[in-house]
Structure 1
């Protein structure tokens, strides 16, 4: 199966929450090497708040992303709350317009992006929308582009972008090559992990760690690590649904 129903996506958010909670201390340790050490604490706070408020509710994949994004944007201190809040919330905007026809994503024209039989969601509930590779690629691509509107960092600056950008590019390539959804997700995970690891050799250009200059080289960026956790756990949740 190369798609899943939006209404079944709660399990994906559950995996994302667990990934952050289980790695809270590690994220703090990584951040403490060249930052202020609060990244794990702040991320855990936001994801746990989301869990506490919504764990007993049934919500769609897009609803969960919007709820989580809102909490991160409005209730988490530091810069990472608004950054992740923007990324996750913006992902939902494309699904709301998924029946609008063809759309260009990273140079690839996609048809029937809703995953519905005719690409028309006018008479469907949001939960009935089928999310396939094209839709997911569009979601993550749009989230990244919206993020680029509020941050100056790009690939190579030792930030979460070094994880996010190659992951999105991997999805775009899979759309162009018409790969199966499962294969595309596995390749996306690999790209995210390689992007995370690439930050070890970089000099930080943004945030508190940028003050260290050359001394910021030799350790991974905490944002790149947390972004990798989110992307890989998101992929794992989808893989469970399409297996």
Structure 2
């Protein structure tokens, strides 16, 4: 199975559904250590993405993901719009055609590089990076050992979910949560949580 244009669009639509379903949870997490708008911002952004995709006639998976990123940048407030927007645009730029698992692994890594370049965050800072980093590592490991796309995506989703849980004891060093200092510990990072939703959506999409 290659990651082709229909699969790219299905992935984005599955993300939008997951964000809608988990909007309240993301908002609750963000209310504890942030501005309390992560869920609503992402829901609004991915609703706009769905509208944009309805009018798009893409001829490669990269076009789908580039459009997704551009729309998120223009429609989502706060830090998450630019971060996820840049990530999807970077992934899209790396996918001019159908991708093997190995190629997709490198595209996802490009998305991580874009997030880190913009947010200046490292693993352990209690951000999106704490879920995206292990997800990319797990996907890449699976892909390089010959795992098919569904297996690699499932490994990435599990790693992202564990990465999100692992942010609970961390003290935030970036973003709005960092203003709380030690009081940011004991809470799961909302950005890492939404990243886990993104990778779980990829696993769900490729498994069907």
Same fold (TM over 0.5): yes
RMSD: 1.6
Q: Does 1:73 align with 2:91?
A: no
- The alpha-carbon deviation at position 56 of structure 1 amounts to 5.8
Superposed, which structure 2 residues align to 1:1-243 within 5 Å? 2-55=1-54, 57-59=56-58, 60-96=60-96, 129-240=97-208
SS at match of 1:9: helix
Could you say what secondary structure the match of 2:99 adopts?
strand
CA displacement at 1:44 relative to structure 2: 0.8
Q: Following the alignment from structure 2 to structure 1, what is the Cα–Cα distance between the partners of residues 184 and 77? A: 23
CA deviations 1:198-242 (Å, max 9, x no partner) are 0011111111111111111111001001111111102211222xx
Are the equivalent residues in 1 in contact too, given 2:109–2:136 (CA < 8 A)? yes
Q: Which stretch shows the higher mean deviation, 82-91 or 49-58? A: 49-58
Runs of 4+ in 1 over 6 A off after TM superposition: none
Which has the larger strand fraction?
A: 1
Using the alignment, how far apart are the partners of 1:75 and 1:185 within structure 2? 28
Measured in 2, the distance between the counterparts of 1:151 and 1:6 equals 29
Separation (CA, whole Å) in 2 of partners of 1:182 and 1:8: 12
User: 1:167 & 1:207 partners in 2: Cα distance?
Assistant: 21
What SS does the aligned partner of 2:119 have? coil
Q: Deviations over 1:121-171 (max 9, x none)?
A: xxxxxxxx3322112101101111122222211111100100000000111
Q: Using the TM superposition, give the Cα deviation of residue 78 of structure 1 relative to its aligned residue in structure 2, in angstroms.
A: 1.3
Give the structure with higher Rg (CA): 1
8 Å Cα contact 1:200/1:217 also seen in 2: yes
CA drift of 1:57 comes to 4.7
TM-score normalised by length of structure 2: 0.92
Structure 2 unmatched runs, 5+: none
Greater Cα offset, 47-56 or 216-225: 47-56
Residue deviations 1:44-70, cap 9 Å, x none?
111111112333655453222111111
TM-score, normalised with respect to structure 1 = 0.80
Higher helix share: 2
Contact 2:3 2:61 in 1 (8 A): no
Residues 8/36 of structure 1: CA separation in 2 closer, same or farther (3 Å cut) = closer
Contact 1:171 1:188 (C-alpha < 8 Å) held by counterparts: yes
